[in-house]
Amino acid sequence: MSYRWRRSDGTVSGPVRQRIPRGTRQTEVTLRWAFHGPGTLKATAVLEVLSPNRADAAATFTYTCR
């Protein structure tokens, strides 16, 4: 499988390859995104699966630091 992340701050990761054994129906992926300083930010991360079958999934969350 290969995938990439598209973030609402405009960052797009390079493709990540992950080996998944045949017959596996789920796997875990990791998004690394650092936030710094006080404030609130609504952020969205889109997981783009590039192969073997194209698919997208998105999650939105709010960063808050006081």
Integer Cα distance of 29 and 16 in angstroms: 10
Instruction: Give per-residue pLDDT as tens, 6-24.
Output: 999 999 999 999 999 999 9
Task: Give the number of other Cβ atoms within 10 Å of residue 3's Cβ.
Answer: 20
Integer Cα distance of 55 and 23 in angstroms: 18
pTM score of the predicted model = 0.85
Q: With bands split at pLDDT 50, 70 and 90, how would you rate the model's confidence at 38?
A: very high
Does residue 43 contact residue 61 with C-beta atoms inside 8 Å? yes
